């Protein structure tokens, strides 16, 4: 369908020809990747405990310990995927402590919400699981066994253990994160050292559920730093059959300056502008990293995955600084809209 709209000229230019706008409705528009609306659930502050998980005996309405109101909200949003368990937390997480009837608490972590609870949560809201494995303090074998527990059939020992814990059917893992911020909290690794570790994990950590193809995402840059991007993509271009990746992550938070110090409430116009300016900088970061990736991958087989972004502000006064608690405001909504517009 071709639509033609005639716009009248102004009175001052009545003698000029009218302006015409031609719209061809038969041509498809731009395609927006649904994954830009993905979410992130980390064991930090009240994000998991209290936010998603309240326990089966809680007075808060829940289904198997998971809050009904949160499930309803996320289900309505049609969230495409949720990344878990971190974040920096992922590189110190021992998955075995969070399965079975006898949980093994760690310092500051009761492990009440583990693999089976997360997968239950993902199924309740109708989303895909994005699992970030422990590449920092864990081993490739531990990560491989975790994927085996989640995705293997019940004639496998770990698949049978999953069934014993209440879920005979294999889980679906859509995305596998090969570490998190390995340049800092994920192990303080040089780019070359990370590449060697990533290649091992990519090779040995396998998906056993043929129904659900699994994509692998490697650690990428912090902001505009090109080192990880260049090293990972250079290795990918020269890869052998034994390993592969489908994505490279990019993490960037709008802070208005480091360390995060802007208040989440009671901010002035200057603070507001500083944060918005940071958010807009995401556009240049994506272009810079995409250009580096393009040198090694002109066909764009490896996706740039922005899986951590948003406002990082000063902790709410009186809260535990380590919990990174901050109050949301309309400014956060504006920042989110700006960021999603950049991604689209």
Whether 9 shows a pLDDT value over 80: the answer reads: no
Rounded Cα distance between 299 and 279, Å, is 28
Percent of the chain with pLDDT over 90: 87
- Active-site residue, 181 included: yes
Catalytic residue among 109, 117, 197, 308: 308
Percentage of the chain beyond pLDDT 70 is: 95
Asked whether the beta carbons of 339 and 286 are under 8 A apart, the reply is: no
* pTM of structure: 0.91
pLDDT for the residue 55:
98
Using 50, 70 and 90 to split pLDDT, how confident is the model at 15?
Answer: low
pLDDT at 224: 79
Identify which has the larger pLDDT, 9 or 327. 327
pLDDT band at 27 (very low <50, low <70, confident <90, very high): confident
Q: What is the predicted pLDDT for the residue at 317?
A: 92
Residue 266 tokens read as 């009671």
Q: Give the residue, 130 or 256, on which the prediction is more confident.
A: 130
Residues 6+ apart with CB under 8 A from 242: 199, 203
Identify the pLDDT of residue 2. 43
Please say if the pLDDT value at position 4 is more than 60: no
| Residue in the block written with tokens 């490896």 | 302
Q: Select from 3.40.190.170, 3.20.20.80, 3.90.1170.50, 1.20.120.350 the CATH code of 30-219.
A: 3.20.20.80
pLDDT at 300: 97
Mean pLDDT of all residues in the chain? Answer: 93
The reported pLDDT for the residue numbered 3 is 47
- The per-residue pLDDT for 23 is 75
Mean pLDDT on 126-140: 99
Eight-state DSSP code of residue 59: S
Would the pLDDT of 327 be above 90?
Answer: yes
Look at residue 156 in the predicted model and tell me its pLDDT: 98
Does residue 16 surpass a pLDDT of 90?
Answer: no
Structure token pair of residue 280: 């807009």
- Flag whether pLDDT at 65 surpasses 80: yes
Question: Would residue 308 show up in a list of annotated catalytic residues for this protein?
Answer: yes
pLDDT tier for residue 225 given thresholds of 50, 70 and 90: confident
Mean pLDDT of the 131-156 span: 99
The upper half-sphere exposure of residue 92, i.e. CA atoms within 13 Å in the direction of its Cβ, equals: 13
Q: Is the pLDDT score of 221 beyond 70?
A: yes
pLDDT value at position 7?
Answer: 44
Instruction: Please say whether the beta carbons of 304 and 217 come within 8 A.
Output: no
* Mean pLDDT, residues 118-134: 99
pLDDT over threshold 50, residue 333: yes
pLDDT at 244 over 70: yes
Give mean pLDDT, residues 176-190.
97
Mean pLDDT, residues 104-116 taken together: 96
Helix (H) or strand (E) holding 122: helix 115-125
- What is the rounded CA–CA span in Å between residue 40 and residue 168? 26
Catalytic-labelled residue, pool 42, 109, 148, 181: 181
How large is the average pLDDT for residues 189-210? 97
Residue among 254, 252, 216 at smallest CA distance from 236: 216
- 224's CB contacts (< 8 A; 6+ apart) are 284, 285, 288, 289
Predicted pLDDT of residue 192: 97
Range 260-282 burial, b when 16+ CB lie within 10 A, else e: bebebeebeeebbebbbebbeeb
Count of positions (residues) in the chain: 344
Q: How confident is the model at residue 11 (pLDDT cuts 50, 70, 90)?
A: very low
Question: First CA to last CA across the chain, in angstroms?
Answer: 26
pLDDT over 90 (residue 52): yes
């Amino acid at each position: 369908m071709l639509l033609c709209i005639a716009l009248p000229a102004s009175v001052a230019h009545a003698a000029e020809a009218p302006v015409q706008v031609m719209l061809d409705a038969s041509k498809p528009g731009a395609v927006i990747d649904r994954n830009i609306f993905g979410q992130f659930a980390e064991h930090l502050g009240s994000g998991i405990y209290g936010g998603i998980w309240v326990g089966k005996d809680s007075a808060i309405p829940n289904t198997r310990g998971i809050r009904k109101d949160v499930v309803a909200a996320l289900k309505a949003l049609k969230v495409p995927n949720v990344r878990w368990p971190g974040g920096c937390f992922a590189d110190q997480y021992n998955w075995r402590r969070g399965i079975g009837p006898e949980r093994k608490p760690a310092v500051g972590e009761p492990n009440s919400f583990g693999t089976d609870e997360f997968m239950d949560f993902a199924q309740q809201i109708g989303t895909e699981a994005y699992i970030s494995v422990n590449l920092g303090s864990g081993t490739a074998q531990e990560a491989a066994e975790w994927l085996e527990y989640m995705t293997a059939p019940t004639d496998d020992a770990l698949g049978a253990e999953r069934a014993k814990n209440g879920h005979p059917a294999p889980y679906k893992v859509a995305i596998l994160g090969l570490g998190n911020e390995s340049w800092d909290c994920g192990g303080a690794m040089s780019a070359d050292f990370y590449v060697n570790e990533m290649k091992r994990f990519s090779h040995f950590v396998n998906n056993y559920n043929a129904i659900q193809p699994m994509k692998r995402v490697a650690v990428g840059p912090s902001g505009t730093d090109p080192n990880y991007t260049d090293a990972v993509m250079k290795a990918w271009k020269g890869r052998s059959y034994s390993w592969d990746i489908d994505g490279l992550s990019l993490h960037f938070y709008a802070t208005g300056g480091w360390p995060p110090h802007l208040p989440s409430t009671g901010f002035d116009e200057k603070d507001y502008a500083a944060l918005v300016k940071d958010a807009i900088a995401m556009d240049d970061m994506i272009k810079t990293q995409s250009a580096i990736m393009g040198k090694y991958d002109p066909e764009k087989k490896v996706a740039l995955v922005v899986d951590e972004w948003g406002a990082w502000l000063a902790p709410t006064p009186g809260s535990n600084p380590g919990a990174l608690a901050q109050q949301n405001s309309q400014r956060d909504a504006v920042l989110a809209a700006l960021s999603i517009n950049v991604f689209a």
